[in-house]
Structure formats: C-alpha cells, structure tokens
Amino acid sequence: MRYLTLLISLLALSIGCASHATKSSDNDIDIDADTIATRRFVPSEITLQDIKTRDQLDNYIAHYWDTFPFAEGESIEEYDTNDIYAAFAQYVLIIPRSEADSLLRHLMLRAEASREALDLFAEVAHDVLYDPNAPTRNDEYYIPVLETLVESELLDEYDKIVPQRELHIVYQNRLGHIANDFTMTLADDTHLTLHSLKADYTILLFNNPGCEMCREIIDGIEGSELIKSLSRDHNIKIVALYPDEDITAWRDYLPTMPQSWICGYDKELRLTSERLYDLKAIPSLYLLDHDKRVIIKDGSSLKQLEEALMLLTKK
C-alpha cells in the first residue's frame, strides 16, 4: 500500500528527531544505564510492512499499546525510552486524522494508571507533537494530550502550570479559525491591523534580522514563480512582522526586504506578552484566507505554502 510506504519513510525521520529530543530535554527520565535496555517495547509482532488492508491497520491501531504496562509504576523506568519515542512517533503518523482526538485522549487516560506512565507519555507527547523542530509536530494532536493533563487528578496545581500555559498557546490561531488580530507599526510610524488588510490570501511571516532560515524563506517567496503567477489573478498580500524589541536592528535590515511586502514590527510587544501567537521558534509562517482564517499555522516551508495556494486557487 502506497500510503504505508510513505508512513514508514516518515517514521524513520521521526525516530531520529525523537531520539535527539530525549537527549536535550531538561526533564529526561533518570534511567540507570544498566537497565536502560532490559525491557523493550514493541507494539506488535507484526510490522507496518505486514499490513495489507485497512481492517488490519485499524486492528493494529486498536491494540497498539496493549502490551505496555501502564500500571506497573516504577518498573516503567526499565524501558528504553527510545522505544517509547519511536512507538509514539509511529502511532501519531498512522492514526486517522478524524479519530486522533479520541485515540490520543484515550491513550493519556490509560497512562493515568500510574504517575510514572503519565509523566513518561506527557514528556514524549511534548517532544513529538510540540517541539518546533519535530517533523511530527501537530498542535491539533497535542490538544487532547494537554486537556487530559489539565484535568488529571494525578497532577496538582503546580504540575498543571506548564500544560495550562501550553494549552493556551495551542488554542491560538487553530486551523480553520480566524487568526488573532494585532496592530503593526510600519517604517513611517503609521499603524495597520492584520484584519484591516483586504486580500484574497495573506502570507504572514514572523521573522528576525540575521535569521538565516528567515532569509531563505523571504528569498524563496519573493522568487517563487508560482506565487507571482497566482498574484496576477488573486490579491495576495505578504506581511513580514518583527515581533521583538531591537527596532534599530529591524530598521537596519529593512532595506533588504522586498519592496512590495508590508513590513512592520510589534511596537507594544503584545504578541509575546499576551501570547497571541506561538513564537517559540522563528521563522513562523502563516497562510490566511480572505476572512483571515488559518490555512497554514506556524509553518516554515515554501513548498507547503505553494501547495496550499495551488489547492486553494483551483477551487
């Protein structure tokens, strides 16, 4: 099955990212080196390559976590956490999008069988679904995880501070919802709001001077023949917003920006102080429709932007 081949390829990328995340996390589970590989977690005796039908895949998903001992408490620490990261990354790639909310919520409720299991799956979900560098990052999938943590009776109010903060962030600017409005200050000190822009589509790029990846996206968008072609038949506005406070650096960088773009900065720093947008990683790219509904959220890929615009303009 072609889609399973694609998923397997994506999984290889996901495992590499997840394994790296465990090494860099400040909240790594303390596992003794002598026991780290004494218990291995394998979802099933069969592999994705063995699955030939949708019914087989559904059954595989339904029993994916059955062999994990959620209630065993301290013995969970005997597992090689790389196995759990890899298994979770694979799981989020194969579950149907329409069932992701219920499946991930159910998984986290199962993890409440012990505090050790809940802590482990909370950490794994954070790194696989929320880390800005994770190829499996998905705010919509992370929401049921966070909502379960916030509601959990195993966690006290202090434990819930981080999940509550993250939940507030991922609730912002959800796909299909209207993006948060804000006021930007332009180079001539005039002001403009996002929602006041009249456009069929708005490309919104949060960027910083000196950011190499930002420069790549800026040059990519400006040089895109597809976007130029679509702009002939559709009103596409491009907004580049600087969200930080070094305005001198922003003004010095401004001459390098495309002249046709709307370039501004957040004078009152509301974006960060009020957490109107998730800006833990820059660049951050959004695509909005004519009603300012979010089509792409916190992206960083020119290819993703072009593909979305092609799909939208063909309707």
What percent of the chain clears pLDDT 70, i.e. is strictly above it? Answer: 88
- Classified as helix, coil or strand, 105 is helix
pTM of the model: 0.81
Is the pLDDT reported for residue 315 higher than 70? no
Chain segment 154-177, per-residue pLDDT in tens: 999 999 999 999 999 999 999 999
- Distance from the Cα of residue 148 to its chain's centroid: 18
Chain segment 106-115, per-residue pLDDT in tens: 999 999 999 9
SS3 content of the chain, % helix, strand, coil (to 5): 50, 10, 35
Residue with tokens 């979010």: 294
pLDDT score recorded for residue 78? 86
| Range 17-43 average pLDDT | 46
pLDDT score recorded for residue 39? 80
Q: What angle do CA 288, 289, 294 make, to 5 degrees?
A: 40
pLDDT score recorded for residue 38? 65
Residue with tokens 């397997």: 8
- CATH architecture under which domain 183-314 falls: 3-Layer(aba) Sandwich (3.40)
Q: Where in the chain is the domain with CATH 3.40.30.10?
A: 183-314
Peptide bond into 283 cis (omega under 30): yes
Between 179 and 4, whose confidence is greater? 179
How many Cβ atoms are within 10 Å of 35's Cβ, its own excluded?
A: 13
| Range 37-49 average pLDDT | 79
